[in-house]
Amino acid sequence: MADDTDTGADRGLRSPLRRRLLMGLAGAPALALMPRAAWAAPATSAVNTTGLAVTDSEVTVGILHSITGTMAISETGAQEAEKLAIQQINDAGGVLGRKIKIIQEDGASDWPTFAEKAKKLLVNDHCAAVMGCWTSASRKAVLPVFEQYNGLLYYPTFYEGLEQSKNVFYTGQEATQQILAGLDWVHKEKGGDSFYFIGSDYIWPRTSNKIARKHVENVLKGKVVGEEYFPLGHTQFNSVINKIKLTKPKVIFADVVGGSNVAFYKQLKAAGIDLSKQVLMTISVTEDEIDGIGGENIAGAYACMKYFQSIDNENNKAFVAAFKKMWGEKTVIGDVTQAAYLGPFLWKMACEKAGSFDVDKVVAASPGLEFKGAPEGYVKIDENHHLWSKTRVGKAKTDGQFEIVYTSPELIKPDPFPKGYQ
Amino acid sequence: MLGDYSLGDLGAIFAMQGFAGLILFSVYLLMALGLAIIFGQMGVINMAHGEFMILGAYVTYLCSTFFQTYLPALFPIYFFIAMGLAFLASGALGMLVEWGLIRFLYKRPLDTLLATWGLSLILQQAYRSIFGAREVGVELPSWLIGSVQVTDTIEIPINGLFVMAVTILITVCVALLIFRSRFGQQVRAVMSNRAMAGAVGIDTEKVDRYTFGLGCGIAGVAGSAFTMIGSTGPTSGQLYIVDTFLIVVFGGAASLLGTIASAFSISQTQSTLEFFLSGSMAKVITLLAVVGILMLRPQGLFTLKVRR
């Protein structure tokens, strides 16, 4: 079907002989003008043996995030970063000589919708890969679909771990990567020996706090003086703040999410808890969330993440500049946004290493891949489909940015099924 | 858990906890007042109540940005102006909605539920398109931030006191309006018997429109006040809607006093339980208690004898 629309040059690429002929005809000046990748593009039949949506000039990739509904707040940044990455890849010649065509679907903050749209992207559109999902619930909903139809998902959010699928690559951190280094740091630098855990009531905070509690009690020999969960969307924290005042913990360890987050920090500030004196460490506040919380309400708090917008390296400066150019000067970039940006690049590298878009070959080629151009710095893919990454601690400033006060010296190995923490 | 603390500590905590309960009471009452008028007096199940509140919050956000940029000298008092504008904006939208949608559905109360739910979705998407999907931060003047140091250990949040003051003011105004003014008399007349009220010359359509607008306007003020303690985003209204209905239904739909009593009992239960148990358990027990009481007393705490 695509043959009718092919340009002469494209058709020529199929046979090595004609390619050489063409090269001879075109001569050196014309060659310099041609995008290099176009010459290297292998035949479609060779790179796509499983019926994916790959033509001689295009490969289709899906984006599946919530554009509407509650989660749109968080997922906006992720899909913006993915589009930026794909545009940059296309500008540099695409993947295996083919430009990426995006098909975007809206998960609408509704988990069954995510599953339905995932099926559409795989079955109708034959996407070679899908960048998407944010909450664990949405990932759990699409997982059976990706496994059944042998799709490929790049999932950007830091999450609780306890999962590993052939069909998913996790570009955010799993819980032990994110939490343990931060707890060690706060224990050593701030003398944190008593902790108060406060979180929203669903799987991620509960699992994260379970891991944190084991680490505090067994490794740091500290104690947990309180552990509280509130329903999603809870807006009144005065009682628990009084409890915190009563128990006087050295460290408040917070994983409250969504609108509750805003209420929690505003009320903490109003109750006279001064975050420059009371140590608070959060694993759920990125630059994105501070936009809503207000920098003055959270200044002084420590966040434990793998990425902050303020990371000082060349990759990140270029990334931040490109992101702002595409999405506006005022946008901020949080941890998940950066992790989402990695997805398309990791997929591109795996395709090129495999010399194919076939999911099985891409999956087989992925472990061990190294990406040195990541804004967060060097990362590599582990056998277990998670990324090796550094963990950083940032101190929130009033302007909504973080000042990085600690970076783990080495890349931390992902460990989605941590022994001794379950 | 209280064994290890000195008497002074305990006293301070009880005082602060008492205030926490009172602040929660004010918050609950403020968010329920608008609905008490719309649902209680008019019988309209307004699922878009939260979105009217968030309109007020967004008006406050716009005001804060405007005053910061153009009139920084007046920034310390912008909040009062913002609340006034929030009342007008939400009230005007409310009257428009009543005119375009609700008035056709007075005889079909269950359809209002669907229609207003649809309206809430439309409004949410409108906010998302206009203000963006991300939450916005509303800057407060410095005098509204922080806490009052009563003694060494007792600290009371200023924004909590401010919400309390607003709640008292609005409650008194509503009570005066409903029970002491000519307009209130007409509202009560229409509520108790629409046909008779019409027959004695009350313009029932106009009364309906103003009542609905009043309820929505109060929701706007509530939303404006809540920018101090909560989040402002397209879907933030959803955070309040369940509690709001709970309070109005529990209090007895047609009674202002019932709403006050219900907000008080629910907030005190919630805040005390939250202190001694965990947040989620407190919610569960509060809801169970409410369900239990409503089974015994389906009409709510207080009821007026109304001829429908």
Q: Give per-residue pLDDT as tens, B73-131.
A: 888 888 899 999 999 999 999 999 999 998 888 888 888 889 999 999 999 989 988 98
Position B305 scores a pLDDT of: 56
What would the mean pLDDT of B280-284 be, rounded to a whole number? 86
Cα–Cα distance for residue pair B233/A258, rounded to 1 Å? 10
What CA dihedral angle connects A112, A113, A117 and A120, to 10 degrees? 70
What would the mean pLDDT of A9-38 be, rounded to a whole number? 47
A287 vs chain B: nearest CA distance in angstroms?
A: 11
Nearest residue of A to residue B16 by CA position? Answer: A242
Position A19 scores a pLDDT of: 52
Within a domain: residue B174?
yes
Within a domain: residue B284?
no
What the block records as the tokens of A26 is: 């075109």
Pick the CATH number of A58-173+312-388 from 3.40.50.2300, 3.90.550.10, 3.40.1170.60, 3.50.50.60: 3.40.50.2300
* ipTM of this predicted structure: 0.79
What would the mean pLDDT of B208-236 be, rounded to a whole number? 89
Cα–Cα distance for residue pair A60/A122, rounded to 1 Å? 10
Phi, psi angles (nearest 5°) of residue A305: -145, 175
- Whether A239 sits inside 8 A of B5 (CB atoms) is no
* CB contact at 8 A, A332 and A394: no
Nearest residue of B to residue A263 by CA position? Answer: B230
Nearest residue of A to residue B146 by CA position? Answer: A270
pTM value is: 0.82
State whether residue A288 sits within 8 Å of chain B by CB. Answer: yes
**Quick one: which of A186, A161, A163, A195 has its CA closest to A176?**
A161
The more confidently predicted of residues A186 and B135 is A186
Cα–Cα distance for residue pair A329/A50, rounded to 1 Å? 42
Within a domain: residue B1?
no
Q: Mutate which of A235, A296, A332 to disrupt the B interface (most B C-beta within 10 Å)?
A: A235
The more confidently predicted of residues B271 and A307 is A307
Sort out which chain A residues have CB atoms less than 8 A from B238's CB and list them: 70, 233
Position A384 scores a pLDDT of: 93
Q: Mutate which of A80, A238, A273 to disrupt the B interface (most B C-beta within 10 Å)?
A: A238
- Whether A235 sits inside 8 A of B240 (CB atoms) is yes
In this model, does residue A36 exceed pLDDT 50? no
Q: Mutate which of A70, A71, A75, A266 to disrupt the B interface (most B C-beta within 10 Å)?
A: A266
Position A8 scores a pLDDT of: 41
Cα–Cα distance for residue pair A256/A344, rounded to 1 Å? 30
Boundaries of domain holding B120: 16-236
The more confidently predicted of residues A188 and B239 is A188
A201 vs chain B: nearest CA distance in angstroms?
A: 7
What's the pLDDT band for B188 if we cut at 50, 70, 90? confident
B-proximal residues of A, 156-215, CB under 8 Å: 201
Task: Report percent pLDDT > 90 for chain A.
Answer: 64
Within a domain: residue B279?
no
A264 vs chain B: nearest CA distance in angstroms?
A: 8
What would the mean pLDDT of A49-59 be, rounded to a whole number? 91
What would the mean pLDDT of B151-179 be, rounded to a whole number? 87
CATH class of A176-305+392-407: alpha beta
B260 vs chain A: nearest CA distance in angstroms?
A: 19
Sort out which chain A residues have CB atoms less than 8 A from B278's CB and list them: 227-229
- Whether B275 sits inside 8 A of A269 (CB atoms) is no
- Our separate counts of H helices and E strands in chain A read 16, 15
Position A11 scores a pLDDT of: 44
B-proximal residues of A, 226-285, CB under 8 Å: 227-231, 233-236, 238-243, 245-246, 258-263, 266-267, 269-272
Sort out which chain A residues have CB atoms less than 8 A from B271's CB and list them: 236, 238-239
What would the mean pLDDT of A393-413 be, rounded to a whole number? 93
Handedness of CA B82, B84, B85, B89 (dihedral sign): positive
Three-class DSSP category at A376: coil
Stretch(es) of chain A classified as CATH 3.40.50.2300: 58-173+312-388, 176-305+392-407
Number of CB pairs < 8 Å for A and B?
141
- Whether B229 sits inside 8 A of A267 (CB atoms) is yes
Sort out which chain A residues have CB atoms less than 8 A from B234's CB and list them: 72-73
In this model, does residue B303 exceed pLDDT 80? no
In this model, does residue A169 exceed pLDDT 60? yes
- Within chain B, where are the H helices? 7-35, 42, 49-70, 78-100, 109-131, 158-180, 182-192, 194-199, 204-226, 238-251, 256-276, 279-296
Position A114 scores a pLDDT of: 95
* CB contact at 8 A, A281 and A186: yes
Sort out which chain B residues have CB atoms less than 8 A from A201's CB and list them: 279-280
Q: Mutate which of B64, B229, B242 to disrupt the A interface (most A C-beta within 10 Å)?
A: B229
Pairing label, strands A302-305, A392-396: antiparallel
What's the pLDDT band for A89 if we cut at 50, 70, 90? very high
The more confidently predicted of residues B160 and B133 is B160
What would the mean pLDDT of B11-23 be, rounded to a whole number? 83
Residue A239 is nearest to which of B9, B27, B274, comparing CB atoms? Answer: B274
Sort out which chain A residues have CB atoms less than 8 A from B16's CB and list them: 242, 245
Q: Which residue reads 């996407």 in tokens?
A: A127
Name the strand (E) or helix (H) holding A370.
strand A370-371
Name the least confident of A33-47, A341-355, A387-401, B62-76.
Answer: A33-47
A358 vs chain B: nearest CA distance in angstroms?
A: 36
Position B43 scores a pLDDT of: 81
Q: Give the pLDDT confidence of A211-234 residue by residue, as tens digits.
A: 999 999 999 999 999 998 988 778
The more confidently predicted of residues B2 and A396 is A396
**Angle A70-A72-A77 from CA coordinates, rounded to 5°:** 145
Task: Tell me the pLDDT of chain A averaged across its residues.
Answer: 87
**Quick one: which of A43, A78, A129 has its CA closest to A286?**
A78
Position A294 scores a pLDDT of: 86
Q: Give the pLDDT confidence of A309-329 residue by residue, as tens digits.
A: 999 999 999 999 999 999 999
Query: Measured between alpha carbons, how far apart are the two ends of chain B, in Å?
Result: 53
Q: How many residues does chain B have?
A: 308
In this model, does residue A27 exceed pLDDT 50? no
What's the pLDDT band for B253 if we cut at 50, 70, 90? low
In this model, does residue B3 exceed pLDDT 60? no
DSSP label at residue A218: I
What's the pLDDT band for A6 if we cut at 50, 70, 90? very low
Sort out which chain B residues have CB atoms less than 8 A from A209's CB and list them: none
Position B5 scores a pLDDT of: 66
Position A406 scores a pLDDT of: 94
What's the pLDDT band for A13 if we cut at 50, 70, 90? very low
In this model, does residue A350 exceed pLDDT 60? yes
Within a domain: residue B166?
yes
Amino acid residing at A384: N
Position B137 scores a pLDDT of: 79
B-proximal residues of A, 35-94, CB under 8 Å: 67-70, 72-73, 76
Position B2 scores a pLDDT of: 52
Position A26 scores a pLDDT of: 47
Position B241 scores a pLDDT of: 87
> DSSP states of A271-332 as a string?
TT--TTTSEEEESS--HHHHHHH-HHHHTT-EEEES--TT--SHHHHHHHHHHHHHH-TT--
Highest mean pLDDT among A56-70, A121-135, B12-26: A121-135
Position A100 scores a pLDDT of: 95
Within a domain: residue B118?
yes
Cα–Cα distance for residue pair B112/B45, rounded to 1 Å? 6
Nearest residue of A to residue B136 by CA position? Answer: A292
Highest mean pLDDT among A98-107, B150-159, B293-302: A98-107
Position B4 scores a pLDDT of: 61
Position A235 scores a pLDDT of: 82
Number of domains, chain B: 1
Position A262 scores a pLDDT of: 85
Residue B147 is nearest to which of A259, A270, A292, comparing CB atoms? Answer: A270
Position A340 scores a pLDDT of: 96
- Whether B275 sits inside 8 A of A76 (CB atoms) is no
- Whether B23 sits inside 8 A of A292 (CB atoms) is no
* CB contact at 8 A, A373 and A352: no
Position B52 scores a pLDDT of: 94
